[in-house]
Amino acid sequence: MKKENAVFLAEMLYFGLLTFSRFFDHKLQEHDLPFGFMKEYAFAFGATLVYLILFFALGVVLLQKAEETNRWNMCHMIAFSSVFLAPFYLHKSYCGTLDVYLWILVMAVFVLVLLLPKEGREKKEYALIILLVVVEIFTAVAAGVRGKDAQTLLGGTQFVVMILFFLPYFYTAWKFFSGLLQGAGKEQKRKYLLYLAGGIPAPVIWCLLGDYSRVILYGFAYYILLGMMFMALGDGYFAEQIQRTKDKVKEYLPIPEVFILYPLIFITFWMMGNENIPVEKILELQ
């Protein structure tokens, strides 16, 4: 591994430790889970560590598999995904939820797929899309049908304000997918349409359940994770569209890292709740 990649991974590890110290408060709420032992603090804590380790391992393998010309863009996407996935399940309201165990499954499968030979890329990509769609929908439906696992850390007013502040991301996504579909071949277009549509059901279900923090998480994590997998598996056309979109973003945002870090403000003060900072009042909006 090249020195710059090792430095980047060291920075991601530091970010993980920083979010762990910031968001993890050694508390566990009651969650609707299939087995009693899964409700124990020690087991939930162990699962959280496995989740974080697998997420870091996925980043390592993604960097190793990325083409040299796409490696810096892969770094940006890994960092963008970590903004959402690193801190989210460290908060007491989400630590030990069913999501954690299903994300462990997803990331383990993603790592395994990347370690397999590159033959059959299209089939792998379809399988990954279907896997992530099924897991996300199952998690949301299970929270709504089997129990009362929807959390309300992010209020409705806050959610509406976040959507307004996130409009540049929706515009960027629209430009990305319109460009992606415009130049894609017939088979590619079918895959990209499935990819586009697959990320919609889970956020909609979470929105109906009133868990707006999960709406944001699932809305971003789905597209970023699968996008990284496409690039690592060798989808050159997808990687080119990522670069074109990044160049467009640079036209109105010279420092692309701001595009990555901006959501972390809302995650810290709203999505994860403001009880961790009792004196914080500036961003409080109920």
Counts for the chain of helices (H) and strands (E), in that order: 12, 0
Q: How far apart are CA 182 and CA 112, in angstroms?
A: 32
Angle at 100 between CA 204 and CA 118, to 5 degrees: 90
pTM of full prediction above 0.75? yes
What is the dihedral angle through the alpha carbons of 235, 237, 239, 242, rounded to the nearest 10 degrees? Answer: -140
pLDDT, mean of residues 21-39: 81
So where are the chain's domains? Answer: 3-284
Position 113 scores a pLDDT of 95
- The Cα-based distances of 183 to 70, 197, 238 in angstroms read 19, 18, 10
- Asked if 63 contacts 120 with a C-beta cutoff of 8 angstroms, the reply is no
Q: Which of 57, 48, 41, 47 is nearest to 20 (CA)?
A: 48
- Asked if 136 contacts 223 with a C-beta cutoff of 8 angstroms, the reply is no
Percent of the chain with pLDDT over 90: 56
Check whether 107 has a pLDDT greater than 90: yes
Question: Which residue pairs from 233-238 have beta carbons closer than 8 angstroms and sit at least 24 positions apart in sequence?
Answer: 233/65, 233/113, 233/114, 233/118, 233/121, 233/124, 233/125, 234/67, 234/118, 234/121, 235/121, 235/125, 236/67, 237/180, 237/183, 237/184, 237/188, 238/180
Q: How far apart are CA 142 and CA 129, in angstroms?
A: 20
Binning pLDDT at 50, 70 and 90, where does residue 284 land?
low
Q: Which of 165, 170, 172, 200 is nearest to 270 (CA)?
A: 165
Look at the alpha carbons of 233, 11, 105, 263 in this order and tell me if their dihedral is positive or negative: negative
Neighbours of 286 (CB within 10 A): 7
- Please state the separation of Cα 53 from the chain's center in Å: 15
Tokens of 17: 């430790």
Which residues are within 8 A (CB) of 125 and not within 5 positions of it... i.e. 6 or more apart? 191, 229, 230, 233, 235
Which pLDDT tens digit goes with each residue over 109-138?
999 999 988 788 889 999 999 999 999 999
Binning pLDDT at 50, 70 and 90, where does residue 32 land?
confident
The widest CA-to-CA distance across the chain, in whole angstroms, is: 55
State the number of CA atoms in the 13 A half-sphere of 201 facing the CB.
Answer: 16
Residue labelled with tokens 């792998």: 124
Which pLDDT tens digit goes with each residue over 42-79?
999 999 999 999 999 999 999 999 888 889 999 999 99
Q: How far apart are CA 61 and CA 232, in angstroms?
A: 9
* Average pLDDT of the chain to the nearest whole number: 88
Binning pLDDT at 50, 70 and 90, where does residue 100 land?
very high
- Asked if 98 contacts 28 with a C-beta cutoff of 8 angstroms, the reply is no
Helices (H), 26-166: 41-65, 71-88, 98-115, 121-145, 156-165
Check whether 278 has a pLDDT greater than 50: no
